[in-house]
Amino acid sequence: MKRQFPMNCGLAAIFALAQATASAAAEPDPRIAGALREISSSRIQADIAALVGFGTRSTLSAQDPASIAAGRGIGAAREWIRAQFEQYSRDCDGCLEVRVDSYTQPPGERVATPTVISNVYAVLKGTDAGATPRIVLVTGHYDSRNSDNEDITHDAPGANDDASGVAVSLECARVLSRLKFPGTIIFLAVAGEEQGLYGSAYFARRAREQQWNIEAALNDDIVGGNRSAEQDTRVVRVFSAGDNDSPSRQLARYVAETGDQYPSTVKPLLVFRADRYLRGGDHTSFNEKGYAAVRFTEYREDYNRQHQTVRTEGGIAYGDLPEHVDVDYVAAVARLNAAALANIAAAPAPPSHVSILTARLENDTTLEWQPAANASGYEVLWRATTSPTWEHAQDVGARTRVTLPLSKDNVIFAVRAVDAQGHRSLPVVPEPKG
Ligand SMILES: [Zn+2]
């Protein structure tokens, strides 16, 4: 029997090889590891304190110049976030393009009057000018709410929901802007989430209209690791929508893998569903436009400390205040995000037109694909059909067609591109080709 790869090699040897390759994949990139070490709990603490300091960040709150000058309302928060990105850009000789993208939301279910909604973001442009810009992004929502979604008067501190997520975007921007990547990274803060995902929906719609090639969107919403007794600060949930091999599910697996490659005090806990019951988030806006997106959220939420007007009632202290946030936990979650962002932006594009040949009954499996720009080689991944994550990675060199002595009926395959430094692209599951 003729096998293209590996020559005269039994199944046991294949598995041994694959596992050797999988452990080699755990070699971290020292540049990325260095950037992750720069992520600072005290910076995150200061970012959250500053955002809480605007009193309310309700999307319906003030954004006129006088309120901005007085430092109260969502307009002041927006200008502060913009100023942070601009400062980081000055620190890297203008490497970030800072944008405020606004539109007027017409009245709707939770918006009584026409309301300007602004997304604030910083773009770290990729150095690879040749290909269609590949984009990976991280987002959090800077709007907040209290018990009454219409209330723009009383405080809505939103320290955990979602100053924590905005702090992740900011801190990723600060540390990763010191590096260069072939792919583009966008650090985003959106508004209108509590009114119905308006800001992210606007962003994702525009991205789709302009054919932005967003390979991955990481949404951090409620990543404060609230200090309730039942909290487990060793894990962060990563939600992903779709079937078992949806692009979002592959992204979730990728996040878990980079978490192993760059160990942090917090591990991703993959949850194979779109979100929690009764709740939604900005990753869904990206999913709806066909982009891979996942949601990071602390392990156990404290409902007395989110979406609550600050008060004490029946002996219970309500309110989403900074003292309930564990900033070391937020920093660890930021490291997971930054590791995934950096790895994807550093990696070659994923291979395209990945096919599994199904024309004949056979016990081997042949896969083929189109070359990816900047790839020095490829890896074939596989796992049992019942396994949640990839179990084996086989280095197949620079070839773009390979036959493995494994039955396609028994496992799920994918192919990913690798560059000379070992950065791995997102994997692509093959389409059957008869
Ligand atoms: Zn939220």
Q: Which DSSP string corresponds to 246-277?
A: SHHHHHHHHHHHHHHHS--SSEEEEE-SSS-T
In the reported structure, the alpha carbon of residue 162 is separated from the centroid of ligand 1 by a whole-number distance in angstroms of 5
Cα→Cα distances 77→154, 226, 320, 392, 423, Å: 16, 23, 17, 46, 36
- Over residues 332-363, the pLDDT tens digits come to 999 999 999 999 999 999 999 999 999 999 99
Report whether 192 contacts 198 (CB < 8 A): yes
In the reported structure, the alpha carbon of residue 122 is separated from the centroid of ligand 1 by a whole-number distance in angstroms of 21
| CA-wise closest residue to 139 among 305, 332, 281 | 281
Q: Is the pLDDT of residue 176 over 80?
A: yes
Report whether 247 contacts 277 (CB < 8 A): no
Report whether 124 contacts 187 (CB < 8 A): yes
Cα maximum dimension of the chain: 79
CA distance 284 to 289: 9
Between 24-33, 321-330, 392-401, the lowest mean confidence (pLDDT) is in 24-33
- Over residues 215-268, the pLDDT tens digits come to 999 999 999 999 999 999 999 999 999 999 999 999 999 999 999 999 989 999
In the reported structure, the alpha carbon of residue 305 is separated from the centroid of ligand 1 by a whole-number distance in angstroms of 12
In the reported structure, the alpha carbon of residue 265 is separated from the centroid of ligand 1 by a whole-number distance in angstroms of 23
Q: What is the mean pLDDT of residues 325-329?
A: 98
In the reported structure, the alpha carbon of residue 374 is separated from the centroid of ligand 1 by a whole-number distance in angstroms of 37
- Over residues 37-80, the pLDDT tens digits come to 999 999 999 999 999 999 999 999 999 999 999 999 999 999 99
In the reported structure, the alpha carbon of residue 299 is separated from the centroid of ligand 1 by a whole-number distance in angstroms of 14
Q: Is the pLDDT of residue 129 over 80?
A: no
In the reported structure, the alpha carbon of residue 306 is separated from the centroid of ligand 1 by a whole-number distance in angstroms of 9
In the reported structure, the alpha carbon of residue 337 is separated from the centroid of ligand 1 by a whole-number distance in angstroms of 17
